[in-house]
């Protein structure tokens, strides 16, 4: 590995298709990171199993996620992009870290509480220990930074706690990672309820813009976005959450500041602003969608990248895993 550069780790669950929230809050920020960091990005398929998956669809979603990463601009020759399930060290370290994580801290995780309420018929142990697998993902690569949306901050904090706890017993085994939260688009809210985050699994189809939505669908969803009744385009997240969300989306795709947007649309009605946001978003997504279609047709490119990168991830993660096994006192298999 390139020792000069700091290490960056991130990933997404291989569930459903990505949303504008996933893109602006995470993926878009990842694309140029390799210039500064040695980057690892996982297709987090093992995490997805915490919710019941239909096997054929799940397999397709995982491939689709890999293709979307690449289509959005993550170059698999400059970044290590791989499937979590192809690298056994993730689950091997997760078991060990499970033994260094307390029930009390896991039960405070808001994602767990939300998902347990949403899937009350399947509150499985995986859902509960989800953050431990996530900590393993990150710590195996000795990551310095982890770019995520605001909703994952708590999981980063528990990762740091686990790493510090382990290090305080066994010496400096793990790098303690920092969360990296981008500014624009860090939390994209639902178009139908701007006090809730935009989510893949929202029941209202107008609440969420998907990365693969066509232009008409995107514009229609923005036209229907919930705003307020005072008809002024001004950023005020507390009192005008709907308009502020649209402004933050527009800012993320146009790189304009809120002041510039307020000026640009001074005197315009919400209708025109919503169309402008929809058009700008559709324009941003079109090249990604075209590239995605190409990659899904041409299987061999993704397959060879996935294989080469899994080998690299295997090598790097195994170094940490072997160190951990040794530190905790597991017996090495004698070499013959």
Q: Which of 146-154, 160-168, 235-243, 246-254 is the region at the interface with ligand ATP (rule: CB under 6 A)?
A: 146-154
**How many whole angstroms separate alpha carbon 320 and alpha carbon 211?**
35
Active site residue 323: no
Q: How many CB atoms lie within 10 A of CB 68?
A: 25
Per annotation, catalytic residue among 5, 187, 200, 319: 200
Nearest to 22 by CA among 10, 35, 9, 4: 10
Which CB atom, from 188 or from 282, has the smaller least distance to ligand ATP? 188
Query: Is 197 an active-site residue?
Result: yes
Rounded Cα distance, 31 and 79, in Å = 9
Active site residue 153: no
**What is the rounded CA–CA span in Å between residue 282 and residue 103?**
44
Q: Minimum distance from CB of 264 to ligand ATP (Å)?
A: 23
Assign 294 to helix, strand or coil: helix
Q: How many residues bind ligand LTN (CB under 6 A)?
A: 14
Number of H helices, E strands in the chain: 14, 5
In the list 7, 8, 9, 25, the residue contacting ligand ATP (rule: CB under 6 A) is 25
Which residue's CB is nearer to ligand LTN, number 76 or number 278? 76
Among 22, 50, 85, 251, binds ligand ATP (CB under 6 A): 22
The owner of tokens 């920092």 is 178
Any idea of the CA torsion for 72, 76, 79, 85, to the nearest 10 degrees?
A: 100
Q: Work out whether 47 is an interface residue with ligand LTN (CB under 6 A).
A: yes
Structure tokens at 223: 């036209």
138 binds ligand LTN (CB under 6 A): yes
| Positions in 170-209 near ligand ATP (CB under 6 A) | 186-188, 197-201
Alpha-carbon span 153 to 159, nearest angstrom: 10
Residues that bind ligand LTN (CB under 6 A): 9-13, 44, 47, 134, 137-138, 146, 148, 152, 155
User: Which residues are near ligand ATP by CB under 6 A?
Assistant: 12-13, 21-22, 25-26, 148-149, 151-152, 186-188, 197-201
């Amino acid at each position: 590995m390139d020792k000069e550069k700091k290490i960056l780790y991130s990933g997404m669950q291989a569930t459903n298709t990505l949303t504008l929230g996933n893109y602006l809050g995470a993926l878009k920020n990842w694309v140029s990171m390799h210039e500064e960091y040695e980057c690892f990005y996982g297709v987090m398929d093992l995490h997805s199993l915490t919710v019941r998956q239909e096997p054929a669809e799940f397999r397709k979603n995982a491939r689709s996620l890999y293709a979307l990463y690449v289509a959005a601009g993550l170059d698999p020759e400059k970044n290590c992009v791989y499937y979590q399930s192809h690298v056994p060290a993730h689950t091997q370290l997760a078991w060990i870290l499970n033994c260094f994580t307390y029930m009390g801290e896991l039960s405070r995780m808001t994602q767990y509480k939300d998902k347990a309420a949403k899937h009350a018929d399947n509150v499985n142990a995986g859902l509960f220990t989800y953050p431990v697998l996530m900590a393993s993902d990150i710590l195996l690569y000795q990551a310095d930074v982890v770019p995520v949306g605001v909703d994952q901050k708590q999981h980063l904090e528990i990762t740091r706690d686990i790493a510090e706890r382990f290090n305080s017993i066994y010496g400096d085994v793990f790098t303690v990672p920092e969360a990296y939260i981008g500014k624009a688009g860090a939390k994209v809210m639902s178009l139908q309820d701007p006090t809730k985050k935009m989510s893949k699994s929202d029941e209202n189809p107008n609440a969420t813009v998907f990365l693969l939505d066509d232009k008409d669908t995107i514009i229609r969803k923005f036209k229907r976005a919930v705003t307020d009744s005072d008809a002024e385009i001004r950023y005020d997240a507390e009192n005008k959450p709907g308009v502020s969300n649209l402004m933050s989306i527009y800012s993320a795709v146009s790189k304009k500041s809120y002041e510039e947007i307020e000026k640009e649309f001074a005197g315009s009605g919400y209708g025109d602003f919503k169309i402008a946001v929809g058009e700008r978003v559709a324009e941003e997504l079109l090249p990604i969608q075209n590239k995605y279609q190409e990659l899904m047709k041409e299987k061999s490119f993704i397959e060879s990248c996935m294989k080469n990168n899994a080998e690299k991830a295997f090598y790097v993660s195994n170094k940490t895993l072997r160190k951990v096994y040794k530190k905790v006192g597991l017996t090495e298999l004698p070499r013959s």
